[in-house]
A and B are shown apart, each in its own frame.
Chain A
Amino acid sequence: MDVEILNRKDFVSKSQVKWCRGCGDFNVLKTMQSVLAKTGRTRENSVFISGIGCSSRFPYYLETYGFHTIHGRAPAVATGVKAVNPELDVWVITGDGDALSIGGNHFIHAIRRNQDIKILLFNNAVYGLTKGQFSPTSAQGWVSKSSPSGSPDRALSPLALAASADATFIARTSDNDPNHLAMVLEAAADHKGTAVVEILQNCVIFNDKVHEPYNGPKNRDENLLYLNSSMPLLFGKDKTKALINNGFGFKVAKVDDPCVLVHDPETQESTYAFALANLNYPQFPVPVGIFRQIQRPTFDQVLTEQQNRAIKKRGTRDLTTLLQQGSYQRLV
C-alpha cells in the first residue's frame, strides 16, 4: 500500500484562522501541523475534539476530522469516539476554563480510565472568549472583570490534578518555544493512554505576559526547570542550582549536593509527578518537559479484552439464539 508522505501544509484547512493577532495559539497550531506530518499521521485517522473557548476553535484549522463540541465535555465525546474506533488518533483541545472548571469531572475521569486520548490544555489563566474573567488557574487575588477585589479562589495546578488522577503521561511546554513544544507533542502522540499536556499560553488581550516571569525568553534559562530523562534536576543560568528531596516535596540545593535528584519519568508512584507539578514560581523553578510516562492498559484495550473474554466464554450467539433465550415454543 502506498503511504502518502505529507507535509505541514497538508494539515492546513481552508478556514481562516480567527485568533487575535499575537495569540499564542498560532504557534501551537503550526507546531501541531508539523508534528502530524513528521510523525506520519494520516489526515483521515486524526480527530481533533474540542470544547468551548478560544483554543477550542483549533479543530477548524486542521485538515483532519474535527468536532467542536460543548463546554467542558470534549473528553467525554472523545471517549465515545475512541471506544468504538480504537484505530483513530484522538486529540482533545481544551483550555484552563474548559477542562478544569465546567469540565473538571470529565477531565478527571478520562484520565483515570486511561482512555487513549491526547489532551492539550492551553493554560493562559484567564477566560478569553468570555472576555476576561478569572479562571481556575488564575492566581488568588488576581483582579479581573468578575473579581474586582481579586479572585477569591486558590489557583489549581492542572498537572497536579492529572497526577492525582494517575495520568500515565504528564507534560508541560509553552507556546513560545516551538522546538520544545514539538518534542512534547511528538512524545504525547506516541504515548498509549491519556496524555495530559499543559501548554503555557499567552493571551495578549486579557492576561498578557502572565507566564513571562519564568517563561519569557529572557527568563527561561533562569527560572524553568527542563526535565530530561536520566538527567539531574538542575536549573539556573549556568545550571548551578539543583532540587533535592525534602519530605514529600523538594528543596533547592547547590549543584554539588550529593543528594541531587535524577529525573525518571517512568517513576511508578504518581507522587513524584504530583510534587513536580506543585513547584511554583518564584519559590521554585517551573518544570517543563515530560513529568511522567508510564504504561498501563488503555480503556479501549480493556474493553476489547473483556469483549474477547465474553466471546470465548459464550461462543458466538446469533440474533435468533439471543432473542429466543428463556423462551418456550408453542405449537398450535
Chain B
Amino acid sequence: MTVTQLSQEVICFAGDSGDGIQLTGTNFSHNASAWGNDVMTLPDYPAEIRAPAGSVSGVSAFQMQFSSTDIHTAGDEFAVLIAMNAAALKNKIGGLVNGGLILADQNGFSKKNIELAGYSSDPLSDGSLPDYRIIADNFTHLTVQSLKELNLPPKQLRRSKNFFVLGIVFWIYSRSLTQTEEWLKAQFSDKPLVMEANILALNAGFNYADTTEIFGESFQVEPAPKKEGFYRTISGNEALSLGFICAAEKLQRTLFLGSYPITPASEILHTLSKYQDVGVKTFQAEDEIAAACAALGASYAGALGITSTSGPGLCLKTETLNLAVMTELPLVVINVQRGGPSTGLPTKTEQSDLLFSMYGRNGDSPMPVLAAASSADCFDMALEASRIATTFMTPVILLSDGYLGNGTESWLVPNPDDIAISAVEQYQQTDQFHPYKRNPITGSRPWVSPGTKGKMHRIGGLEKQSVTGDPSHDPDNHQRMTKERAAKIAGISAFIPEQPLTGETDDLVLVISWGSTRGGVSSAVKQLREQGMPIAHTHLRYLNPFPANLAAIIAAFKHVLVFELNNQQIVKLIRAEFLTPAKSATQTTGLPFKVRDVVKTISEYYGEITDGC
C-alpha cells in the first residue's frame, strides 16, 4: 500500500440537491483546514429549493482545493469527482482532469436516472469514459446494510450515504475521522439515532475503502507552512458578520443590522442574529427599503447601522442611500453581488453592480465603494467600511459577491487587540453648535445623536445650508454643498492604504483586478512571472475613491489589461479617470475566473503587443 505525497489537490462533490453535498464538502474542508492545509472552496447549487430529483439542473456541487502551499482559488479542474448520480456526472465531468478519478454511487445510475441525465446508456459501464478511472459501487446500499441494526426506517438510513462516501474520501487522503465525528455529535445531540447512523456510516465508508482493494494507493497533502495561531475556515458572509461585530465594539457603538432576506446575502442576517448576547441588534424588515431606513435611523441614533443585500435589493435601497449622503450619516451597505440584471442568476457570482454602486442615485451623490478580495478579506473590509463610514460621516457600499459570500477559506483568526480602528474623536465645536460645520481635516460633520443635551437640530433630505444645516434653496449654496460633499469623499484617498503593486513599474504589462477576482488573477500572474514574463499586477479593494498613488502606477505602464466579472465596468472608470487605453478582459458566466483562462488571456495579449519586437 503506497501513500503518494501531493502538494495540492482539487476535488468536487456532486449530487442531487438534498443529497447533503454542501454538508459533506464543508466537513471535508473543515477537516483539511484543521489538518493544516490551505483551503478554498466553491459551493455551486441550484436556485430552486428542490429542482426535479435526478435532473442536471438540480445538481448541487462543492468544489475545493486544499494544499500544502498558499492557494488563492478553489482550483480550475479537479482530480476527483464524487458523483452521487448520473446527472452529477453529466454536469461536472467537464471539470475533471484527464485521468481523473470518478467515485460514483451506482444507486444514482438507475435506468431512470441515466435517462434523466440525458445519457442513452450507463456511462459507468458503456466504455464512453475511457480517459478516466472509474470506481463505482452501490454506496447507498452499502450504507443501508452497515446500519441495519439501527432502529431507523430504510429511507432514513439511505440519507447517511453522504457520510459513507465522505468516509471513503477521508481514507483516500489519509485523514482522521475524529473531527467529523465530534461535529456530528454536536450537530445531532438532540437526535441520537441520526447521530449514530451518520457516525457509523462515516466509519463504514472508511473501512470499506481500507478493506476492499479497489484503491491501489492513498494520498497525503501535507500541512501548509503557516504562522502559529488559531485558524478556522470562514465564509465571506461569516467574515463580514464578525468584522462588523469587532468594528462596533472598537467604535463603542451598538451594531444594528436592518436586512431583508435575499440570496446570497441572507447568511449575514442569519449569522448576526445569533449574536444578540454580544449586543448585536438585528431587524428583519418588511422590505429592502425599510431595512435600509431602519439602519439609517439606527445610525442617526448613534449606532453603527448596516444593511445587507444583493443586487435587486440594492436597487430598492438607493433612495435611502441618497438620504444618507444628504444628511451625512454613517451607514454601511453590503452588496453580495450575484448575476443580474433583475432576478438574474440568484446563486451565481458576478461583479456587475459596480457602476450602479458608483452612480445609481439621483443628483450628484458621491459615496465610497469598497470591494473585498477574498472570503477572509471580508473581515478586514468590514472594519474598513465601518471606519470610513463613521470617520467621514458617509454611507459606504461594500461589495462582496456570491463566490466570496458562500466560498470559504482558512483564516488566521486575528487578535482583537491588533485591530486598529478606534472610536472616532468627535469634532468639538467650541462656539455655537452647527450640525454642518465641517471638521477641517476630514471634512465630516459632527455625529450628534438624539439624547444629546443642548445640541438639538433638524436634518433631512432637503439641501442644507452650509454650516447651519437649515433647509436652503439658495443656488450658490447648492453649488457649494455639492462641492463640499464631493471633496469630502475624494479626500478619503489620503486616509486609505497605498495601492500595492506586484512586479515592477518597468514590466511590460500591468494587470488590474478588483474584488473577488484577486485569487484567479494573482495566481495566473504568479505563474507567468515565474516563467519570466514581465507582467505586473495590482489589485483594487478601494474603488471610490481610488488610492492616491494609483494614477502614478497606471501612468508607468503603456499596456494595461483589466479583469472583471461583468461586461466592462471598472475598465470604463479606469479609462475615464486615468486617460489610459486600458484593454478589458471579462467573463459573465456566473463563475469565477479559472487561473488557466487568465493565463491564456494575458499570454495572448502579451503575444500581440510583443509581436515583431
Interface SS of chain B: mixed
Identify the 9 closest CB pairs spanning chains A and B, nearest first.
A68-B460, A80-B297, A80-B294, A66-B458, A76-B293, A76-B290, A327-B232, A65-B450, A77-B297
Q: Does A331 sit within 8 A of B, measured CB to CB?
A: yes
Task: Select one of A47, A109, A306, A322 contacting B276, CB under 8 A.
Answer: A306
**A314: CB under 8 A from chain B?**
yes
Q: Is the CB of A84 within 8 A of B456?
A: no
Q: Which of B192-223 contact A (CB under 8 A)?
A: 223
* Min CB gap A49→B, angstroms: 7
Indicate if A328 sits at the interface (CB-CB under 8 A): yes
A residues near B227, Cβ cutoff 8 Å: 330, 332
Residues of B within 8 A of A66 (CB): 457-460
The contact sample of 29 A-B pairs, CB cut-off 8 A, is A59-B458, A65-B450, A65-B456, A66-B457, A68-B458, A69-B323, A70-B293, A77-B293, A77-B296, A77-B300, A78-B297, A79-B290, A79-B294, A80-B303, A82-B301, A83-B281, A83-B283, A84-B256, A84-B298, A85-B302, A108-B286, A109-B286, A307-B277, A319-B249, A323-B230, A323-B242, A324-B232, A324-B413, A326-B232
Partner of A323 from the list B285, B414, B457 (CB cut-off 8 Å) is: B414
A330 to B223, CA, bound (A): 10
Which partner residue on chain B sits nearest A108 by CB separation? Answer: B286
* B279 neighbours in A (Cβ, 8 Å): 307
Are B451 and A45 in touch, CB under 8 angstroms?
Answer: yes
Q: Kindly identify, within residues 449 to 482 of chain B, every residue whose CB is under 8 Å from any CB belonging to chain A.
A: 449-462, 470-471
Rounded to whole angstroms, the CA-CA distance of A65 and B300 in the bound complex is 10
Chain B: CB-nearest residue to A309:
B276
Residue among B231, B254, B258, B462 making CB contact with A68, cutoff 8 Å: B462
Instruction: Please measure, in the bound complex, the distance between the C-alpha atom of A228 and the C-alpha atom of B176, giving whole angstroms.
Output: 76
- Chain A residues positioned under 8 Å from B461 (CB to CB): 52, 68-70
Q: Which residues of A contact B278 (CB under 8 A)?
A: 316-317, 322
B226, A65: Cβ atoms under 8 Å?
no
Given A329-B229, A330-B231, is A73 in contact with B460 using a C-beta cutoff of 8 Å?
Answer: no
Q: Which residues of A contact B (CB under 8 A)?
A: 13, 15, 43-47, 49-50, 52, 59-60, 62-70, 73, 76-85, 87-88, 105-106, 108-109, 303, 306-307, 310-311, 313-320, 322-332
A-B contact count (CB 8 A): 198
Report the Cα distance A246→B155, complex, angstroms: 58
Tell me which of A45, A70, A83, A331 contacts B320 (CB under 8 A): A70
Chain B residues in contact with chain A, CB under 8 A?
Answer: 33-34, 36, 223, 226-232, 242, 245-246, 249, 254, 256, 258, 275-279, 281, 283, 285-287, 289-290, 293-303, 305, 319-320, 323, 327, 413-416, 449-462, 470-471
The distance in angstroms between the C-alpha atoms of A124 and B226, with both chains bound, is 70
Which of B223, B301, B414, B454: most chain A CB closer than 10 A? Answer: B301
Query: Of B245, B286, B287, which is in contact with the most chain A CB atoms at under 10 Å from its CB?
Result: B286
In angstroms, Cα B278 to Cα A317, docked, is 7
B267 to chain A, nearest CB (A): 15
Q: Are B452 and A44 in contact (CB under 8 A)?
A: yes
| Distance (whole angstroms) from the CB of A302 to the closest CB of chain B | 11
Which residues of A have CB within 8 Å of B451? 44-45, 65, 85, 87-88
Distance between Cα atoms of A108 and B286 in the complex (Å): 10
The CA of A159 and the CA of B320, in the complex, are separated in Å by: 28
- Which chain B residues lie closer than 8 Å to A322 at the CB level? 242, 245, 275, 278
How far is A181 from B452 in the complex, measured between Cα atoms in Å? 29
**Known A49-B297, A317-B277, A330-B227; further 8 A-B contacts with Cβ < 8 A:** A76-B290, A81-B297, A83-B256, A306-B276, A311-B277, A316-B277, A316-B278, A329-B229
Q: Are B300 and A80 interface neighbours, CB within 8 A? A: yes
A79 to B290, CA, bound (A): 9
Whole-angstrom distance between the Cβ of B431 and the nearest chain A Cβ: 17
Q: How far is the CB of A107 from chain B (nearest CB, A)?
A: 10
* Chain B nearest Cβ from A93, distance in angstroms: 12
Q: Are B459 and A328 in contact (CB under 8 A)?
A: no
Question: Which of A70, A106, A324, A325 has the most B CB atoms < 10 Å from its CB?
Answer: A70
Chain A residues within an 8 Å CB radius of B301: 47, 80-82, 84-85, 88
Interchain CB contact under 8 A, A81 and B232: no
Q: How far is the CA of A331 from the CA of B36 in the complex (A)?
A: 10
By a CB distance below 8 angstroms, the chain B residues around A310 are: 276-277
Beta-carbon contact of A45 and B450 below 8 Å: yes
Given A76-B285, A79-B283, A109-B286, also A332-B453 (CB < 8 A): no
Tell me how far the C-beta of B178 lies from the nearest C-beta in chain A, rounded to whole angstroms: 12
> With the chains together, A332 CA to B36 CA distance in Å?
11
Q: How far is B470's CA from A209's CA once the two chains are assembled, in angstroms?
A: 33
B277 near A106 with CB under 8 A, answer no
Contact B458 A80 (CB under 8 A): no
Complex CA gap A325/B461 in Å reads: 43
Determine if B229 and A81 form an interchain contact, defined as CB atoms under 8 angstroms apart. Answer: no
A13 to B290, CA, bound (A): 29
Contact of A63 among B249, B453, B456 (CB under 8 A): B456
Among B249, B277, B278, max chain A CB count under 10 A is at: B277
Contact B277 A329 (CB under 8 A): no
Q: How far is the CA of A60 from the CA of B458 in the complex (A)?
A: 6
Q: A85-B449, A330-B231 are in contact. Are A67 and B415 (CB under 8 A)?
A: no
Complex Cα distance, B459 from A128, in Å, reads 22
**In the docked arrangement, what's the CA distance between A36 and B453, Å?**
16
Contact partner of A44 among B223, B450, B459, CB < 8 A? B450
Which residues from chain B contact A316 at a C-beta distance below 8 Å? 277-278
Q: Which of B276, B454, B455 contacts A307 (CB 8 A)?
A: B276
Cβ–Cβ contact A327 & B293, under 8 A:
no
**Across the interface, which residues of B come within 8 angstroms of A64, CB to CB?**
456
Q: Within the complex, which residue of A44, A315, A328, A330 is in contact with B453, where a contact is CB–CB below 8 Å?
A: A44
Q: Are A59 and B460 in contact (CB under 8 A)?
A: yes
Evaluate whether A323 and B416 lie within 8 angstroms (CB atoms) in the complex, with A77-B297, A80-B258, A310-B276 already known: yes
Q: Which residues does chain A contribute within 8 Å of B34, judged by CB atoms? A: 328
CA–CA, A197 and B454, complex, Å: 29
Q: A67-B458, A79-B290 are in contact. Are A328 and B231 (CB under 8 A)?
A: yes
Task: Give the shortest distance, in Å, between B436 (CB) and chain A (any CB).
Answer: 14
How many Å from the CB of B460 to the closest CB on chain A? 3
Instruction: Give A279 Cβ to nearest chain B Cβ, in Å.
Output: 29
Residues in A with CB closer than 8 Å to B232 are: 324-328
